[in-house]
Amino acid sequence: MSHVIETRQLTKAYNSLKAVDSIDVSVESGEIFGLLGPNGAGKTTIISMLCTMLKPTSGNATVNGFDIVREANKVRKSIGIVFQEPSIDDRLTGRENLYMHANLYGVPASEQKTRIDRVLKLVELEDRADDLLRTYSGGMRRRLEIGRGLIHYPKVLFLDEPTVGLDPQTRDHIWRYIRELKQAHDITVVLTTHYMDEADRLSDRIAIMDHGKIVILDTPPKLKETLEGDVVVVRANNIHALSDLVSKSLGLENKQIVDGALEVTVRNGKSAMPRIMELATQNKIYVESILLREPNLEDVFLHYTGRTIRDDTGKELHGMSAIQRRKIR
Amino acid sequence: MSETRGLYTLWLREIKRFLRDRMRIISMFVQPLLWLVIFGAGFGLRFTIPGLSYQAVIFPGIVAQTLLFTSMFMGISVIWDKEFGFMKEILVAPISRFSIFLGKMIGDSSSSFLQGIIVFAIGLALGIPIDPVTFLYAFPIMVLITLGLVSIGLTVASFIGSLESFGAIQTFINLPLFFLSGALFPLKGPGISLPTWLTTVAAWNPLTYGVDALRIVILGAAWTPLQIQPLWVDLGIVALFDVIMIAIGTWAFTRMK
């Protein structure tokens, strides 16, 4: 398979801080590539460089075979972008926004109407197309932006946190849409997200980023396999005491407290459960519930970065403020 | 080809946004009316130039003033776009920064022309002696003046992050340019002696020549003894100013992120 994006030692430094640190990564043509990481991991910085909006400090990259620095204009023609923050004109109608985009990207005038009608239908905004954007809800605006990114038939579509602030139905719909798109148009999608389920369900491969580096890169099933084992989830009245006991008495170190529940990753969950129960009873800790599940991406993330993405309040706040900004407009 | 289309679409956007803003259209009528009626009547009492009423003398000045204020104000569209994210969509498009600047500049200038036309209509209604032919001569001069002024507004706005600071800086640029352009009083002529510092500064003000050119065209022979430069020199200076400002504006847009 050919590589539609290739980076070589791609680096972006702000003074001494390396936001993106010597990254070598190849994205294959036609895949959905997920970038997953906490706030400040460098996801948006990578995307900004690949979209030619930021110049790398050192290293380079090609998108669709074009150099991101020397052939910026050709790169721009090859890509579609949906930014994390809204970027549509709310004084224009939906249709006008799409026409403007088509003109900016040099879509032949004879094809504009057909393409725009099709996109409007895809994102289910046909009946609102001639209303001013300021009357749209946050979800509708987002849908329009995703549709807009496709009008010039890009080779690569960059989606920076595409479903932040959308209701579950709309998210589900957008995911299905992105998948269909990939199959129908042979388009490559690069996606950043902090929603685990989004990364898991959409991505063919996921790169987990932390501190400007890619910590691990693989398909979602393989990432989960690397953890080899089960996760035991315990809820108890003195969760911190139990956590300490689990490591002291049972020697289990691969654990984390998530939302007030203790999650322990073990090789054999069925044999670990009774031992944890016994330990709790001996130490007069009351266990409310205990269950066994397979590792998910959240655990993979935790394993490689040492923190949960939900712990990362900065990220969540960012998501929330993005929602609010959309609502205000 | 695609550059031209990109330019056209950016122009069209500015026009649409402008025409949908009702408050701005209403205010377009009010300001020149206040200047011409109240200021013109009040200060006209002590004005004596043979064959010219004060209202007629400040009319070309008010045309220039309207173009100046509107053009500078247009810079706000850049800040608006930056603040509300739309600038990203434009900046990442496969179109040169020169076209982006030009599209915005011509779009904003068009709105300024429209305002200039309205001032003419008001002047006509107030009985200032102007006819359609005068307007045809004056219009190209108005275009020439506007291009440079809009470029100042856009350039300044491209460096500034917030609407508030743009408002402050705008006043800081508008008022000196306006007061030192001879828009409200003749800068030279028989019986007129102004402080040297004022005439020196005015000589470096590009708007001075725009106002002078408009007066030559609108007031005709009665203005000849008071004119600052012959018409072609006035126009040459304004055109040079336009070229310089467009170059600076394009540079400013190139470094915008």
Of A208, A223, A238, the position where a domain reaches its end is: A223
Are residue A124 and residue A264 in the same domain, yes or no?
A: no
Instruction: Count how many domains chain A has.
Output: 2
Give the one of B9, B21, B92 whose C-beta lies nearest to A103's C-beta.
B9
Are residue A267 and residue A209 in the same domain, yes or no?
A: no
Are residue A234 and residue A199 in the same domain, yes or no?
A: no
With cut-offs at 50, 70 and 90, classify the pLDDT of residue B208: very high
What is the mean pLDDT of the segment spanning B54-67? 89
| Residue A76 φ/ψ region, left for φ over 0, alpha for ψ in the -120 to 50 degree band, beta for the rest | alpha
> Does A76 lie at the interface with B, CB-CB under 8 angstroms?
yes
Are residue A36 and residue A150 in the same domain, yes or no?
A: yes
Nearest CA in chain B to A104: B6
> Does A130 lie at the interface with B, CB-CB under 8 angstroms?
no
Are residue A253 and residue A136 in the same domain, yes or no?
A: no
Residue A151: inside a domain, yes or no?
yes
Q: Rounded to 5 degrees, what angle do the CA atoms A281, A286, A290 make?
A: 90
Residue A327: inside a domain, yes or no?
no
Among the residue ranges A37-46, A93-102, B225-234, the one predicted with the least confidence is A37-46
Instruction: Tell if the CB–CB gap between B9 and A104 is shorter than 8 Å.
Output: yes
Among the residue ranges A183-197, B66-80, B87-101, the one predicted with the least confidence is A183-197
Query: Which of A103, A112, A116 would you mutate first to test chain B, the one with the most B CBs within 10 A?
Result: A103
**Is the ipTM, as predicted for this complex, more than 0.90?**
no
- Quote the pLDDT of residue A315: 39
Query: Which of A91, A164, A329 would you mutate first to test chain B, the one with the most B CBs within 10 A?
Result: A91
Are residue A83 and residue A178 in the same domain, yes or no?
A: yes
- pLDDT 10s digits, A61-101: 999 999 999 999 899 999 999 988 889 998 999 999 999 99
Of A206, A223, A240, the position where a domain reaches its end is: A223
With cut-offs at 50, 70 and 90, classify the pLDDT of residue B155: very high
How many CA atoms does the CB half-sphere of A308 hold within 13 Å? 14
B174 has a pLDDT exceeding 60: yes
Of A165, A198, A223, the position where a domain reaches its end is: A223
From B97's Cα to the closest Cα of chain A, the distance in A is 11
- Quote the pLDDT of residue A328: 39
Mean pLDDT, chain B, integer:
88
CA A250 centroid distance within chain: 36
Give chain A's radius of gyration (CA, Å): 23
- pLDDT 10s digits, A215-256: 889 998 888 887 777 888 999 988 888 888 888 888 887 788
> Does A322 lie at the interface with B, CB-CB under 8 angstroms?
no
Q: Which whole-number Å values give the CA distances from A286 to A15, A91, A177, in the listed order? A: 52, 59, 47
Question: Which residues of chain A neighbour B1 with C-beta distances below 8 Å?
Answer: 106
- pLDDT 10s digits, B120-134: 888 888 888 888 888
Residue A113: inside a domain, yes or no?
yes
Q: Which of B174, B7, B177, B153 is nearest to B77 (CA)?
A: B153
Mean pLDDT, chain A, integer:
85
Give the one of A51, A89, A99 whose C-beta lies nearest to B92's C-beta.
A51
Query: Which of B9, B15, B19, B89 would you mutate first to test chain A, the one with the most A CBs within 10 A?
Result: B89
With cut-offs at 50, 70 and 90, classify the pLDDT of residue A307: low
A314 has a pLDDT exceeding 60: no
Are residue A211 and residue A98 in the same domain, yes or no?
A: yes
pTM of full prediction above 0.90: no
Give the one of B1, B2, B16 whose C-beta lies nearest to A92's C-beta.
B16
**Where are the domains positioned within chain B?**
2-254
- Quote the pLDDT of residue A313: 41
Are residue A94 and residue A237 in the same domain, yes or no?
A: no
| 107-126 in chain A: CB under 8 A from chain B | 109
> Does A133 lie at the interface with B, CB-CB under 8 angstroms?
no
Question: Which residues of chain A neighbour B2 with C-beta distances below 8 Å?
Answer: 105-106
A325 has a pLDDT exceeding 50: no
Host domain of residue A106 = 3-223
How far apart (Å, rounded) are the C-alpha atoms in residues A105 and A154? 10
| 80-139 in chain B: CB under 8 A from chain A | 84-96
- Quote the pLDDT of residue A136: 92
Are residue A288 and residue A184 in the same domain, yes or no?
A: no
A113 has a pLDDT exceeding 50: yes
A327 has a pLDDT exceeding 60: no
- pLDDT 10s digits, B157-168: 999 988 889 989
Please enumerate in sequence order all residues whose Cβ is within 8 A of that of A136, keeping only pairs 6 or more positions apart, or say none: A90, A94, A128, A144
Across A64-78, A290-304, B13-27, which has the greatest mean pLDDT?
A: A64-78
> Which alpha helices (H) appear in chain A, and where do they start and end?
43-50, 72-78, 94-104, 109-122, 138-148, 168-185, 196-202, 220-225, 239-250, 269-282, 297-305, 313-328
Are residue A51 and residue A103 in the same domain, yes or no?
A: yes
Are residue A181 and residue A147 in the same domain, yes or no?
A: yes
> Hey, is B95 helix, strand or coil?
coil
Are residue A152 and residue A12 in the same domain, yes or no?
A: yes
Question: Which residues of chain A neighbour B77 with C-beta distances below 8 Å?
Answer: none
> Does A92 lie at the interface with B, CB-CB under 8 angstroms?
yes
> What backbone phi and psi angles, to 5 degrees, belong to A190?
-115, 125
With cut-offs at 50, 70 and 90, classify the pLDDT of residue A318: very low
- Quote the pLDDT of residue B117: 86
Query: What CATH number did the domain enclosing A188 receive?
Result: 3.40.50.300
A121 has a pLDDT exceeding 50: yes
Question: Which residues of chain A neighbour B21 with C-beta distances below 8 Å?
Answer: 91
A104 residue type, one letter? L
From B13's Cα to the closest Cα of chain A, the distance in A is 8
From B172's Cα to the closest Cα of chain A, the distance in A is 29
With cut-offs at 50, 70 and 90, classify the pLDDT of residue A309: low
Instruction: Tell if the CB–CB gap between B85 and A77 is shorter than 8 Å.
Output: no
How far apart (Å, rounded) are the C-alpha atoms in residues B152 and A217? 50
Residue A108: inside a domain, yes or no?
yes
Of residues B22 and A231, more confidently modeled: A231
Q: Which whole-number Å values give the CA distances from B123 to A124, B33, B57, B128, B139, in the listed order? A: 51, 8, 12, 5, 14
Q: Which whole-number Å values give the CA distances from B19 to A73, A96, B9, B68, B119, in the listed order? A: 32, 15, 15, 19, 17
Give the one of A52, A92, A104 whose C-beta lies nearest to B95's C-beta.
A104
Query: Which of A89, A136, A164 would you mutate first to test chain B, the one with the most B CBs within 10 A?
Result: A89
Q: In this prediction, what percent of chain B has a pLDDT beyond 70?
A: 98
With cut-offs at 50, 70 and 90, classify the pLDDT of residue B145: very high
Query: What CATH number did the domain enclosing A249 receive?
Result: 3.30.70
- Quote the pLDDT of residue B240: 97
Give the one of B13, B16, B88 whose C-beta lies nearest to A87's C-beta.
B88
- Quote the pLDDT of residue A47: 92
With cut-offs at 50, 70 and 90, classify the pLDDT of residue A310: low
